[in-house]
A and B are shown apart, each in its own frame.
Chain A
Amino acid sequence: MALGAVLLGAALGYAAVRFRVEGDPLVEKIDGILPQTQCGQCGYPGCRPYAQAIANGDADINCCPPGGEEGIRKLADLLGREFKPLSGEHGIEKPKSVAVIDENVCIGCTLCLQACPVDAIVGAAKQMHTVIAPQCTGCELCVAPCPVDCIAMVPIAETMDNWKWKYPVIEIRKAA
């Protein structure tokens, strides 16, 4: 009996070392659901810190406006918690947008470059800046620092490339 216990203990101990899970899988999973906008609207400096806070139980699951209702539902599913509507203090769900710099007004101050969490703005001091639209996450962090207010958030228009079939809506008619 004792020998068995020792053997099993040794096997478990070995397995714990051999098959150690790197990092925190829960944080990875939560981070995978978050939209990676890196906007900080949740009150944390990025999506990963927010994921960490959710995993630690410090933050609620309804603080991410870009993730929206769908994101909250997925988090609720993952964590086995109750769904709750988006908390108003962190912002509201908006259509996905990209930042557009009015290049005639830009003075080349580089403040937006420093604010962009995903390095999606190119430019240099006293040179015109511009946004790499496909890389922009629409976080709006570049809007506030601009001293000449030349950055606008433009909702992404529907084109042939991103058009989607709509959810079928059944017309309700009065039966004859």
Chain B
Amino acid sequence: MMRQLFGFRGGVKPDSHKNESTRLPVAKAPLPPLLTVPLRQNAGASPRVTVKAGDHVLKGQMIAAPEDGLSVALHAPTSGHVRAIEARAIAHPSGLTGTCVIIEPDGAERWVELEPLDAGQASPEQLRRRLRESGLVGMGGAAFPSYVKAAGTGIATLIINGAECEPWITCDDMLMRTRGEDIAGGAILLRELLGARKVLIGIEDNKPEAIAAMRAAAASAGSGLEVVAVPTRYPAGGEKQLIRALTGIEVPYGKLPSHFGVQCFNVGTAAAAHRAVSRGEPLISRLVTLTGNVAEPRNHEVAIGTPVNELIALARPKADTDRYLMGGPMMGFALPDLAVPVAKATNCIIAASPALFPAPAPEMPCIRCGACAQACPAELAPYELYWFARSQNLGKCQEYHLFDCIECGCCAFVCPSRIRLVDYYRYAKSAIRAREKDKLAADHARERYEFRLAREEREKQEKAAKLAAKAAETKAKLAQAPASGESAPAGEGDAKKALIEAAMAKAREQAAPALNTDVQKMTAEQQAQVAAAEARHAAAATAATAETAAVAKDA
């Protein structure tokens, strides 16, 4: 029976260039002399390093443990010595550095003792902890920690994303052809974990070998995995687009697919999850496509942390290569530095030459033809967003739902004026995020400033009250003295004696252990002020977390 497909709006059909890198079978890339394992490979917080320079590590040994706040573990990709833990250039469009663990392989490839889990026996918590401690992140590009996504409740449909819609990239295609049983095993594992009723494996119909391999794997796995061919149209592999194509569910702004009973994982993530549970192997290598202007385009199984320049040498780039792209030509970025390492979310490295990727024609003014709006899979109005982002009218950008943009590049692809639209959207998005962060910081500073003013006022009042009390006490003593001591000569000496006594009493009082007067002497009104300030602070913190969540989802 043919499943009914729903399709999504917009999209484009760029030349796929998939055949170049699928002719040769997957090769195992040799280990480089030094592995640079970046600490931050997942969306959310970085893990905490648990090794130090000079340590010997085994293959698969944990070198960084997950911390609070969406972080996953990190493992040594091979056995060897930790040479340093220092800042190195990492794969990021900014060209900035990040903390990396530098490992010199010893060539022995000695594994740490692996502990397979029986998926049938283990509890869901155990399985999720295993996913976290095996360093599982979304391998489609966003690198979102998988253990978080595997914790949804009320999930009816699990989607395994093998669409791989971006041109040139074939790592998921080759993975499906060669490791179909791992993917099927991972799909069953995730289905049990989520309690989903059905599993759909969505693959673009330009990959017939992968579809056949997955159908065979699904049949031998034996239980209700359905492989669905979706029409080839970029960006069919976008999470929201694939969900829409397969189920007809449209995930609106501010909602996650799990709110609608759908959860989506990449095929690479499913395969890695299967290996993490059934064999105990952490995520330490992945398939990377080397293609473009090279003599030998193919997919390599690469240890995480392998520097890109070591890797591209394997594919023998041609002489006229002028730059390298990480990711695909639609959403990837030109690498500012070739020493950067391969990370868990690195899927493809493309050698670019002027012949293959000609320099863009000069940008012309927007003629508001609306071609971008027809191509936009998120159903936005890119020409309006461009207008507002260009004039830095950030409020209007948000009104026109800039954060629904998935930065797929369809608008720039079809633009007859060759405007680099996505660059403007990325700029506007990060400017809005920075502004919101500043606003939060300013609110926080205002609160602290107001609290300080209130505290100073209170201290002043307390001091005044104390002085007044002391003055009254001294006065009373002065008044008492002549009445009680009749024998003592009245007059100046008596007053002095009283003052000395008062001073001694004060000294005794000070010698007694000091109590926290700040908290104890607060009036009801002041306490209310403190409580209000704390409530505001808590509200701001919640807003911040919500925003981070939105950002993570957006990425």
CA distance A135 to B448 in the complex (A): 9
* Size band of the interface chain A makes with B: 20 to 34
Is B442 within 8 A of A165, CB to CB? no
Complex CA gap A46/B448 in Å reads 12
Check if B452 sits within 8 Å of A135, measured CB to CB: no
Instruction: List which B98-128 residues lie within 8 A (CB) of chain A.
Output: 98
On whether the beta carbons of A118 and B96 are closer than 8 Å, the reply is no
CA–CA, A38 and B433, complex, Å: 23
Task: Give B contacts to A, CB under 8 Å.
Answer: 40, 90, 92-94, 96, 98, 362-363, 392, 420, 423-424, 426-427, 429-431, 433-434, 437-438, 441-446, 448-449, 451-453
Sample of 13 A–B contacts (CB below 8 Å): A35-B438, A36-B445, A117-B449, A120-B448, A134-B441, A135-B445, A135-B448, A158-B96, A160-B40, A162-B437, A163-B96, A165-B431, A168-B427
Closest to B444 in A: A135
From A118, A163, A175, B449 is in contact (CB under 8 Å) with: A118
User: Using Cβ atoms and an 8 Å threshold, which residues of chain B touch A134?
Assistant: 441
Query: With the chains together, A175 CA to B361 CA distance in Å?
Result: 10
Distance A117 CA – B94 CA, assembled complex (angstroms): 35
Q: Kindly state whether residue A166 has any CB partner on chain B within 8 Å.
A: yes
Are the C-beta atoms of A165 and B446 separated by less than 8 Å? Answer: no
Task: Please tell me if the beta carbons of A36 and B420 are within 8 angstroms of each other in the complex.
Answer: no
Please tell me if the beta carbons of B423 and A168 are within 8 angstroms of each other in the complex: yes
User: In the bound complex, do residue B426 and residue A165 qualify as a contact, i.e. CB atoms below 8 Å apart?
Assistant: yes
Known pairs A135-B444, A165-B430, A168-B420; A159 contacts B96 (CB<8 A) = yes
Pair A175/B445 contact, Cβ less than 8 Å: no
Does A167 belong to the interface (CB within 8 Å)?
A: yes
Q: Which of B98, B427, B443 contacts A165 (CB under 8 A)? A: B427
> By the criterion CB–CB under 8 Å, are A31 and B446 in contact?
yes
Q: For the complex, is A20 an interface residue (Cβ under 8 Å from B)?
A: no
Q: Which of A164, A170, A173 is in CB contact (< 8 Å) with B434?
A: A164
Contact assessment for A117 and B443 in the assembled complex, using a CB-CB cutoff below 8 Å: no
User: A163 near B427 (CB under 8 angstroms)?
Assistant: no
Question: Is A149 positioned at the interface, with any CB of B under 8 Å from its CB?
Answer: no
Give every chain B residue within 8 A of A166 (Cβ-Cβ): 427
Could you tell me if A165 and B429 are in contact, using CB atoms closer than 8 angstroms?
A: yes
**Which residues on the A side are within 8 Å of B444 (C-beta)?**
135
**Cα separation A168 to B426 with both chains bound (whole Å):** 9
Contact call B446/A163, Cβ cutoff below 8 A:
no
Which residue of the partner chain A has the closest CB to B439? A32
Q: Which 8 A/B pairs are nearest by Cβ-Cβ distance?
A: A36-B442, A164-B430, A168-B423, A165-B426, A36-B445, A118-B448, A165-B427, A165-B430
How far, in Å, is A134 (CB) from chain B's closest CB?
8
Q: Is A62 an interface residue (CB 8 A)?
A: no
Asked whether any CB of chain B lies closer than 8 Å to the CB of A47, the reply is yes
Residues of A within 8 A of B429 (CB): 165
Q: How far is the CB of A28 from chain B (nearest CB, A)?
A: 11
Give Cα distance in the complex from A137 to B431, angstroms.
20
Provide the bound-state CA to CA distance between A173 and B540, in Å: 48
Residues of chain B contacted by A165 (CB below 8 angstroms): 93, 423, 426-427, 429-431
Residue in B92, B426, B434, B446 whose CB lies within 8 Å of A162 = B434
* Contact residues in B for A167 (Cβ distance below 8 Å): 392, 427
A113-130 interface bits toward B, Cβ cutoff 8 Å, 1 = contact, 0 = none: 000011110000000000
A59 CB to closest chain B CB, in angstroms?
18
Given contacts A165-B426, A167-B427, A170-B363, contact A160 B449 (CB under 8 A): no
Of chain B, the residue at the smallest CB distance from A46 is: B449
Q: What residues of B have a CB within 8 angstroms of the CB of A35 in the complex? A: 438, 442
CB distance B96 to A36 under 8 Å?
no
Within 8 A of B (CB), among A71-120: 117-120
Q: Do A118 and B434 touch across chains, with their CB atoms under 8 A apart?
A: no
Query: Could you tell me the distance in whole angstroms from the C-beta of B73 to the nearest C-beta in chain A?
Result: 20
Nearest opposing residue in chain A for B392, CB measure: A167
Minimum CB–CB distance for B143 against chain A, Å: 13
Q: How far is the CB of A133 from chain B (nearest CB, A)?
A: 12
Q: Which residues of A contact B40 (CB under 8 A)?
A: 160
* Set of chain A residues within 8 Å of B445, measured between Cβ atoms: 36-38, 118, 135, 137
A160 B427 Cβ-Cβ under 8 A = no
Known: A119-B448, A162-B434. 5 other contacts (CB 8 A): A36-B441, A158-B94, A160-B90, A163-B96, A164-B434
In the complex, chain A residues whose CB is within 8 Å of the CB of B427: 164-168
